[in-house]
A = this chain, B = another copy of it.
Amino acid sequence: MARQPTIEFWYEFASTYSYLAAMRIEAAAGEAGVAVRWRPFLLGPIFAAQGWTTSPFNMFPAKGRNMWRDLEREAARHGLPPVTRPDPFPQNSLSATRAAILGQGEDWLVPFSQAVYRASFAEGRSIAEPASVIAILDSLGLDGTQLLKAASAEANKTRLRVAGEEARSRGIYGAPSFLTEDGELFWGNDRLEQALAWAAGERPGTLR
């Protein structure tokens, strides 16, 4: 039996288009016969390295205004609930990302990640405080307090930092990003289908 191809899904909890990708990647990947490895990371350090202190959607107001409208349209197109706009935007995603890093390889990583996105972009809840993250973990039948304590331990903080360095070294500059096993990088929710097709072995027509 042929080995199932895998795609890496690099996502940031504060990222609007990561939200769209997170809510639809499992179904789309299943249809394409591709497995998904969820790779949480922080975009902040990558933005900071290029001199940005906030989201480009805040730095450039016209771009930001259209992004929010586009997010509404795209959420509707994908059958997601009306978008709630995190305040402040972007949300501080450190606690949630630490928890997700701890959850790598665990069954709860995907439902936890989707619950964080849903809280932030569909339920109008803050995800910034440790208490919010604990509540989401608790709602999944986990021991949120205990997990967030483990997530804040030095070893896990190092794993998060290493993930960020890996992202940058592999050419990632935004979220969501998709990486195939042969290192092909696709950026943005709009490229999910192309990334899955690539992972499944398809190549666009005349590509050299």
Q: Quick one: copies of this chain in the complex?
A: 2
Known: A60-B173, A173-B60, A190-B190. A66 touches B207 (CB 8 A): no
Q: Are B206 and A76 in contact (CB under 8 A)?
A: yes
Number of residues on chain A facing chain B (CB within 8 A): 38
A window 52-72: CB within 8 A of B = 59-60, 62-63, 65-66, 69-70, 72
User: Chain A: residues with CB nearer than 8 A to chain B?
Assistant: 50, 59-60, 62-63, 65-66, 69-70, 72-77, 79-82, 168, 171-174, 184-188, 190-191, 194, 203-208
Whether A81 contacts B206 in the complex (CB less than 8 A), given A62-B171, A63-B173, A171-B65, comes out as yes
- A60 contact set on B, CB distance < 8 A: 50, 173
Can you spell out 29 A-B residue pairs with CB atoms less than 8 angstroms apart?
A: A62-B171, A62-B172, A63-B173, A63-B174, A65-B171, A66-B171, A66-B173, A66-B185, A66-B187, A70-B186, A70-B187, A70-B191, A72-B208, A73-B204, A73-B207, A74-B204, A75-B206, A76-B204, A76-B205, A76-B206, A77-B194, A77-B204, A77-B205, A79-B205, A80-B206, A81-B206, A82-B206, A82-B208, A188-B190
